[in-house]
């Protein structure tokens, strides 16, 4: 087994880490493979630290599915949670609007390969994630509002079922595909979206590939369109990737165990690392996601920076943190003096306040696109952001409560309802 750890592969941009094709890691897959005598692999949709995701044709039901193939050593929790969230309702159970905005679990199976046994499951495929389609692009305002309300509904439904998502950011928020997508044959799919992009996998030492690695690396297929091209008919959101989800009633998740990227991570994960995480941590992540959906620039840095730098941005944008956190913040002296004033070096790189961030990251770009956000909507939006980004988790609104906020009810909900008039 040690030999596999020493194998290095020539880097391929835009694909998973090829060194993780080793015992316990990814399962080698190439386009054309058939899993379970049923799922014909058509192209790659994406990858993460614990899985690769493939577009496949279900030859039994004549439809497309997304097949998620987990690493052999991955935590085996997501399928269980997705099954619980999409379980059939009893006749007396009320139907939550957010239920239809969660990735639906379809099938589960296992495959055995050179790297071990891998749990796999299928879901309805989606166009793409919001990170891909909104990068350096701006959604039309009515679309941004509809997406924001739909995402909040999805989080509210998740919480109503007793689960914390645990990893809310744009990469885990998808856009649904139209039902007509299933009507495409594989040939028609390739004619419309292009053939799979494959790059040969080679070792750095020039030796032959072991059976642990695939012969080709596939670049993810882009099925969507860019943000500025969206209309309300496209604003059908899906909350996905429940690999970090947990049930607070039955499972302990400490702040130190939080794996959400720093730009979207609630501050209690750092300053109350020995305490339990809960639903409020999702509200913080939801706020950062909504900010990005409505604007062009994230409210906190999405660059790879030290977590203390992100904390300094929290203070810059939101104001003083709780005094006990401030006193226990070991990295504070890099950014602020004992009185809370920024150090000389930090003064030059200081993050703008919430209102200034709105002007720089949202309003300026909206005006360039044609029309800025009006003052009464701006006030309601910033009020909601202040509540959701409260430092103390207990002061943040619940997901259900934020759906009744002024901005959600007066501006986001009407556009969300309009989007529902366009069936998939």
Is pLDDT above 90 for 274?
no
Q: What is the pLDDT of residue 92?
A: 64
Contact (Cβ atoms closer than 8 angstroms) between residue 249 and residue 162: yes
Is pLDDT above 70 for 91?
no
Does the annotation list 83 as a binding residue?
Answer: no
Q: What pLDDT band is residue 109 in, cutting at 50, 70 and 90?
A: very high
Which tops the pLDDT comparison, 6 or 354? 354
Helix (H/G/I), strand (E/B), else coil: 32: coil
Q: Is 418 exposed, middle or buried (0-12, 13-18, 19+ CB in 10 A)?
A: middle
Q: Tell me the mean pLDDT in the region 4-8.
A: 73
Is pLDDT above 70 for 4?
no
Which tops the pLDDT comparison, 355 or 95? 355
Q: What is the pLDDT of residue 172?
A: 93
Is pLDDT above 70 for 90?
no
Is pLDDT above 80 for 338?
yes
CB atoms under 10 Å from CB of 331, counted, come to 14
What digits encode the pLDDT tens for the residues 147-175?
999 999 999 999 999 999 999 999 999 99
3-state secondary structure 281-321: HHHHHHHHHHHHHHCCCCCCCCCCCCHHHHHHHHHHHHCCC
Q: What pLDDT band is residue 122 in, cutting at 50, 70 and 90?
A: very high
The owner of tokens 């991955």 is 74
Query: How far, in Å, CA of 118 to CA of 212, rounded?
Result: 13
What digits encode the pLDDT tens for the residues 226-263?
999 999 999 999 999 998 999 999 988 888 888 888 89
Query: How far, in Å, CA of 201 to CA of 313, rounded?
Result: 41
> Mean pLDDT score of the chain, rounded to an integer?
92
Which tops the pLDDT comparison, 192 or 95? 192
CA-based nearest residue to 351, from 382, 397, 400, 305: 305
- pTM score > 0.75 for this model? yes
Q: How many alpha carbons fall within 13 Å on the CB side of residue 197?
A: 12
Q: What pLDDT band is residue 1 in, cutting at 50, 70 and 90?
A: very low
Query: How far, in Å, CA of 111 to CA of 113, rounded?
Result: 7
Residues 6+ away with beta carbon under 8 Å from 241: 48, 78, 103, 167, 171, 172
Is pLDDT above 50 for 2?
no
The owner of tokens 């952001």 is 385
What digits encode the pLDDT tens for the residues 285-334?
999 999 999 998 899 988 888 899 999 999 999 999 999 999 999 999 99
The percent of residues above 70 in pLDDT, for the chain, comes to 98
Q: What is the pLDDT of residue 364?
A: 94
Query: How far, in Å, CA of 53 to CA of 240, rounded?
Result: 12
Q: Tell me the mean pLDDT in the region 381-399.
A: 97
What Cα–Cα distance (Å) separates residue 4 from each residue in 8, 24, 207, 211, 341? 9, 11, 13, 11, 52
What digits encode the pLDDT tens for the residues 184-209?
999 999 999 999 999 999 999 999 99
Token digits of residue 392 = 């103390």
- Cα-Cα-Cα-Cα dihedral sign, residues 359, 362, 367, 372: negative
């Amino acid at each position: 087994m040690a030999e596999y750890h020493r194998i290095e592969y020539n880097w391929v941009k835009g694909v998973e880490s090829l060194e993780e094709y080793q015992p316990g890691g990814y399962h080698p897959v190439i386009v054309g493979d058939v899993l379970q005598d049923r799922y014909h692999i058509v192209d790659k949709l994406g990858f993460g630290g614990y899985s690769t995701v493939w577009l496949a044709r279900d030859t039994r039901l004549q439809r497309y599915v997304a097949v998620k193939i987990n690493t052999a050593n991955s935590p085996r929790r997501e399928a269980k949670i997705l099954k619980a969230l999409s379980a059939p309702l009893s006749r007396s159970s009320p139907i939550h609007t957010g239920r239809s905005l969660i990735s639906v679990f379809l099938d589960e199976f296992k495959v055995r390969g050179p790297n071990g046994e891998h749990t796999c499951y299928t879901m309805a495929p989606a166009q793409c994630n919001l990170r891909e389609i909104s990068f350096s692009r701006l959604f039309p305002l009515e679309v941004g509002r509809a997406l924001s309300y739909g995402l909040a509904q999805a989080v509210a439904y998740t919480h109503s079922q007793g689960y914390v998502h645990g990893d809310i950011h744009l990469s885990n928020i998808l856009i649904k595909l139209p039902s007509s997508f299933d009507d495409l044959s594989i040939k028609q799919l390739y004619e419309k979206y292009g053939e799979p992009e494959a790059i040969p996998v080679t070792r750095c030492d020039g030796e032959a590939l072991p059976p642990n690695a695939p012969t080709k690396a596939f670049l993810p297929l882009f099925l969507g369109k860019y943000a500025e091209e969206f209309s309300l008919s496209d604003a059908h959101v899906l909350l996905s990737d429940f690999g970090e989800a947990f049930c607070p009633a039955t499972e302990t998740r400490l702040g130190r165990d939080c794996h959400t990227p720093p730009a979207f991570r609630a501050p209690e994960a750092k300053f109350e690392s020995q305490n339990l995480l809960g639903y409020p941590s999702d509200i913080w992540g939801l706020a950062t996601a909504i900010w990005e959906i409505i604007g062009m620039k994230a409210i906190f840095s999405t660059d790879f920076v030290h977590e203390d730098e992100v904390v300094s941005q929290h203070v810059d944008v939101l104001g003083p943190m709780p005094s006990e956190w401030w006193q226990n913040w070991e990295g504070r002296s890099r950014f602020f003096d004992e009185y809370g004033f920024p150090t000389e070096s930090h003064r030059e790189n200081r993050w703008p306040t919430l209102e200034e961030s709105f002007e720089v990251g949202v309003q300026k770009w909206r005006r360039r696109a044609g029309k800025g956000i009006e003052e009464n909507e701006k006030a309601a939006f910033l009020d909601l952001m202040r509540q959701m980004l409260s430092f103390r988790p207990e002061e943040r609104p619940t997901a259900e409560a934020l759906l009744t906020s002024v901005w959600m009810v007066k501006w986001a909900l009407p556009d969300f309802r309009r989007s529902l008039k366009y069936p998939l």
